[in-house]
Amino acid sequence: MTLPRLASYPHRHLLGIEGLAPDAIEFLLDLADEYVDLNRQVDKKRGTLKGRTQINLFFETSTRTSTSFELAGKRLGADVINMSVARSAVQKGETLLDTAMTLNAMHPDVLVIRHQDSGAAQLLAQKVSGSVINAGDGTHEHPTQALLDALTIRRRRGKLQGQIVAICGDILHSRVARSNIHLLNAMGAYVRVVGPPTLLPTAIERLGVEVHTDMEKALDGADIVMMLRLQLERMQGAYVPSFREYFHFYGLDHRKLAHAKPDALIMHPGPMNRGVEIDSLVADDINRSVIREQVEMGVAVRMACLDALTRHLPDTGAEPAP
């Protein structure tokens, strides 16, 4: 079945995957696919966003996501400004709206925000006149990560529909897991989640996933094995007793991977804790691991999102604040 093609992405913001229609997701992936080709050329520059201002507002430290957004904006010709607001300097989110209002007065066309609190991107979107892209809010969503994961899978497998995807590890604290669950379900994949019971959110099955606590059962016949980073501070919260025990039961090694399909792909949103959630031999297995490809897709996906969202902005620039 072919879905009717959208002429454009129908929203002003990208705050999460939940609630996006499959054809809107498809549109972004198609557009991103074209940017993959562009990014492999010597001249990677386009003028699509010429004259536009993009501000990357990062309340949490990030290397790859902020770099990826910066590069995406620059390749499309936007003026990109990076603002890192270290958590210590922020008085418990209090300055989020103040910062937003200040920045809004400078008429940015796109605000890319990463924040430690769930809902921060939504709160910001209510207050600014440009487009907002959620680059990760608390444990809520990380939509561009899910899109880049989907693009990686689609390019390797030709489609998302029918793929059995096992998402493994700290589901509870993972915005990547939530966005991926919504996206993969919307596109007709089968999603399984697996982790120790302490790291599985209550009622996660209500999001339409198969829930496992045994890694080998979760990987049985899987097409895609998506590993999540284990936050190192989880030991203090008594979620897991030790790295050693965690790796024994939930770390991805060749022994556990043998239960997945022989050509199963291995994914990880990075940064990896080698020896904690993933064995180096697996992570670096060039036949199986698509972890570096995910990074490449990241830039293309973010270009697609910037391109799609700015098509909704008036040509005269952002509307003045009321």
Partner 1 sequence: MSAESKNPGLKSGSGGEPGRLVAYLNARLVDPASGLDAPGALLTVGGEIKDFGPRLFVDGPPSGVASVDCRGHALIPGLIDTRVFVGEPGAEHKETLASASEAAAAGGITTLLCMPNTSPVIDEPAIVEYVARRAHNTSIVNVFPMAAVTKGLGGKEIAELGLLKAAGAIAFTDGDRAVASALVMRRALSYARRFNALIVQHAEEPALSRDGAMNEGEVATRLGLPGIPAAAETMMIERDVRLAKLTGGRLHIGQISCAESIEVIARAKAEGVEISCGVSPYHFALNETAVGEYRTFCKTSPPLRPEMDRRAVVAAIADGTIDVIASSHDPQDVESKRQPFAQAAYGMVGLETMLPLVLEMVHGRKVDLLTALKAMTATPARLFGLPSGAIRIGAPADLALLDLDVPWRIDTERFRSKSKNAPYDARPVQGRAIMTIVGGRLVHDLYTA
List interacting residues with partner 1 (CB under 8 A): 18, 92-94, 96-97, 115, 117-120, 122-123, 137-141, 175, 178, 201-204, 206-207
Q: Considering beta carbons, is residue 77 or 93 the nearer one to partner 1?
A: 93
Which residue in this structure is represented by tokens 């022994």?
255
3-state secondary structure 212-265: ECCHHHHHCCCCEEEECCCCHHHHCCCCCCCHHHHHHHHCECHHHHCCCCCCCE
Neighbours of 135 (CB within 10 A): 26
To partner 1, the closest distance from the beta carbon of 18 in angstroms equals 7
Taking the complex as a whole, the smallest distance from the CB of residue 172 to partner 1 amounts, in Å, to 9
> Is the CB of residue 138 less than 8 Å from the CB of residue 62?
no
CB of 118 to partner 1, least distance (A): 4
Q: Kindly tell me which of 22 and 93 has the beta carbon lying closer to partner 1.
A: 93
- Spatial distance between the Cα atoms of 304 and 184, rounded to a whole number of angstroms: 19
Strand 53-58, strand 79-84: pairing: parallel
Distance CA 121, CA 112 (A): 9
Residue 70 or 141: which CB sits closer to partner 1? 141
Shortest spacing between CB 51 and partner 1, in angstroms? 32
Tell me how far, at minimum, the Cβ of 123 lies from partner 1, in Å. 6
- Decide whether 237 or 241 has the Cβ nearer to partner 1: 237
| CB closer to partner 1, 5 vs 92 | 92
Minimum separation from the CB atom of position 260 to partner 1 (A): 26
Task: Provide, rounded to whole angstroms, the least separation between the CB of residue 281 and partner 1.
Answer: 33
Minimum CB distance to partner 1 smaller for 194 or for 297? 194
Nearest-CA neighbor of 33 among 132, 160, 135?
A: 160
Closer to partner 1 at the Cβ: 77 or 119? Answer: 119
For the CB of residue 4, give the shortest distance to partner 1 in the complex, in Å: 28
Q: Indicate the residue among 201 and 251 with the shorter CB distance to partner 1.
A: 201
CB atoms within 10 A of CB 221: 12
Identify whether 241 is preceded by a cis peptide bond (ω within 30 of 0): no
C-alpha Rg value of the chain to the nearest Å: 19
Handedness of CA 259, 260, 266, 267 (dihedral sign): negative
* Spatial contact of 193 and 209, defined as CB atoms under 8 Å apart: yes
Tokens matching residue 144? 């561009």
Residues 300, 304, 307, 310, Cα dihedral to 10°:
-130
Do the beta carbons of residue 165 and residue 223 sit within 8 Å?
yes
